[in-house]
Amino acid sequence: MTAPHETPTRRRRSLPRTLITGVGVLALVAMFAAGVVSFLPGGIAGLTGRVGPAEVEGKVLWTSEDLAIQLGPNGWLTHPGEGGDYIARNVRTGESWTIGDLSSRREITPDGVVVQPDGQRILVQREGATHTTSTTKILAEFGDDRLWPGTDSQLVGVSERHVAVLTCLAPKPSRLTDEVEGGRAVLAGVDLRDASVDWTRDTGAGCGGDVAQSSYPSTLPAQRYLLLEPAEEQIMAVDLDTGSVAQRWSGAKRYWFAVQGEHVLATDGQGTATWSSLRTGKQIDEVSCPLMSVGDPGDTSRQLSPEATPFVECRDSVQAVGEDGFTEIATPPFAEGEPVADGDELAVGHLVLRREGAIIRLSNGLTGKAIGDLDVPEDFEVGRYAPSGRLVHFVAWEDGGPRNTGSYRAFDTVTGELVVSTGEGMRTGADASPDGIIVVESDDEDVEGTRLWVAGTKEST
């Protein structure tokens, strides 16, 4: 090793006085301009209309420069890969496999199996294998040779063994949304192992826009029963593995129900709620209160994941379902769209939130135990943009630009730990799964590099 060399001292050449004066004037002008810009809304961004790279912190598991990401359950998502193929990836385990082409309407199971409709075909794909069935095979299982197979299908539910498919069987080839005379909306159970059609069920409804279900939430885990609304005020709970109808309700509204596993939370629209087993048909508990409504599961499917706690909201309290039935939480339910004011205490399902300055104290209303102190700015409100589950969400909306944007905070309801925190300029409606994964996206289309972040708990519950 050689000793460091000394750098010889060099005499600086003196600058002309006029140059020094000019530089000084330019410096003063620059300082003045910077001061003016600092007073403009958004600083330099207020002049240019652009913002810097988004600020995202927390338990980030994966990032992407592409926004064409679809989130699934149990850490799975799909995203574009090289050469135009799509990839199924688990952000918790690092597993991945190549799907190939991908429809905009697809489901991915907790085991990473991808199911997608393609015209009359239904594809069941896993790493190294693709199995195919069709609406022709659904018609064959249904057994009515007077009808034609549907020209499309819709995925409406997933269990551990089956994906439920809705299609239109009619006297002529028809789409599910076609109002065709003599058409029948038929539900079919397609086996996730080999794509065989194991059962069919006539829903009792004709084809048309009314029977077509809204998109099944791709982030839900496997379910046991599907809540189906084949006609107005006609609700049925269908066993996804057998096709049998566990229970029917007439004169009922879809939003009166929430299904979790083999249980259903139901209200009568008159202030009484029941918690019952769909498997046995037995009622487990009943409760009444004024101004009752079923707690929003966060999706029109009315399905709840195992991580969620079923509840009903009353005028100034919440009735949450625990191990022994309903338990009253004597805290008023939160008002959607309103920030949590200092000193306020409110309930978000079974969770109790109390703001003390810049901190929200989070506790479990069923057990009374503290969960953690959450750092949430006072202008943030409780977010309801995702299915109920492992995370509690907060958002601050921003308007005034070409599109509304937002800032997000999400916390683990088991540990109280921060999962993700973002700065301003994020796209509205962050996607999240009930098992603790959230996807946030930058709204700045000119940003080069990362525009999407996937954060989450390292393990599902």
Q: How far apart are CA 144 and CA 146, in angstroms?
A: 5
Expressed as residue numbers, the domain containing 163 is 116-252
Nearest Cα to 66, choosing from 83, 49, 80, 48?
Answer: 80
Q: Kindly state the average pLDDT of the residues 107-130.
A: 95
CATH code of residue 208:
2.40.10.480
**β partners of residue 354:** 345, 361
CB atoms within 10 A of CB 70: 21
Residue 208 lies in a domain: yes
pLDDT digits (tens, 9 = 90+) for 149-194: 999 999 999 999 999 999 999 999 999 999 999 999 999 999 999 9
Both 307 and 371 in one domain: the answer is no
* Residue at a domain's end among 230, 252, 274: 252
| Helical residues (DSSP H) of 168-254, grouped into ranges | none
> Are 220 and 145 contained in the same domain?
yes
- What pLDDT, on the 0 to 100 scale, is given for residue 216? 67
pLDDT at 47 over 80: no
Same domain flag for 155 and 225:
yes
Residues 231 and 284 in one domain: no
Contact, 110 vs 74, CB < 8 A?
yes
Residues 319-330 pLDDT 10s? 999 988 999 999
| Cα end-to-end span (Å), the chain | 56
Mind listing the pLDDT tens digit for each residue in 440-453? 999 988 777 899 99
Residue type at 386?
A
Residues 409 and 289 grouped into a single domain: no
> What pairs with residue 171 in β-bridges?
none
Give the span between the Cα atoms of 456 and 453, in whole angstroms: 10
Same domain, 280 and 242: no
In a domain, residue 444? The reply is: yes
Tell me if 100 sits within 8 A of 90, measured CB to CB: no
298 and 346 fall within a common domain: no
Domain count, the chain: 3
Residue 272 placed within a domain: yes
Question: At a CB cut-off of 8 Å and minimum separation 6, what does 370 contact?
Answer: 361, 362, 363
What local confidence, expressed as pLDDT, does residue 46 receive?
40
- Confirm if 442 and 404 have CB atoms less than 8 A apart: no
Judge residue 102's burial from the number of C-beta atoms within 10 Å of its C-beta, 0-12 exposed, 13-18 middle, 19 or more buried. Answer: buried
pLDDT at 83: 86
153 and 131 Cβ atoms separated by less than 8 Å: no
pLDDT given for residue 15 in this prediction = 38
Cβ partners under 8 Å of residue 11, min gap 6: none
Is residue 300 located within the same domain as residue 344?
A: no
Q: What is the spatial distance between Cα 223 and Cα 159, in angstroms, rounded to a whole number? A: 5
Nearest CA to 155 out of 194, 124, 111 is that of 124
Same domain, 285 and 209: no
DSSP-based three-state secondary structure for 227: strand
Q: Are 323 and 349 in a shared domain?
A: no
Residue 188 lies in a domain: yes
Q: Which two tokens stand for residue 396?
A: 């601050």
Amino acid 50: pLDDT:
40
**Among 301, 330, 359, which residue terminates a domain?**
330
pLDDT of residue 184: 96
* Same domain assignment for residues 351 and 224: no
Predicted confidence (pLDDT) per residue in 384-411, tens digit = 888 889 999 999 998 876 788 999 999 9
Q: What is the CA radius of gyration of the chain?
A: 28
pLDDT band at 218 (very low <50, low <70, confident <90, very high): confident
CATH of the domain at 302: 2.40.10
∠ CA 251-255-258, rounded to 5°: 110
Whether 91 is in a domain gets the answer: no
Q: Which residues pair with 440 in a beta bridge?
A: 453
In the block, residue with structure tokens 């109002």: 179
Given 330, 345, 361, the domain boundary residue is 330
pLDDT at 26 over 60: no
85-115 pLDDT per residue, tens: 999 999 999 999 999 998 877 899 999 999 9
Is residue 15 situated within a structural domain? no
Per cent of the chain over pLDDT 90 is 72
**Is there a single domain that holds both residue 454 and residue 398?**
yes
- The answer to whether residue 378 is domain-embedded is yes
Compute the distance between CA of residue 427 and CA of residue 55 in angstroms, rounded to an integer.
13
Asked whether residue 303 is domain-assigned, the answer is yes
Q: Which helix (H) or strand (E) holds 30?
A: helix 17-39
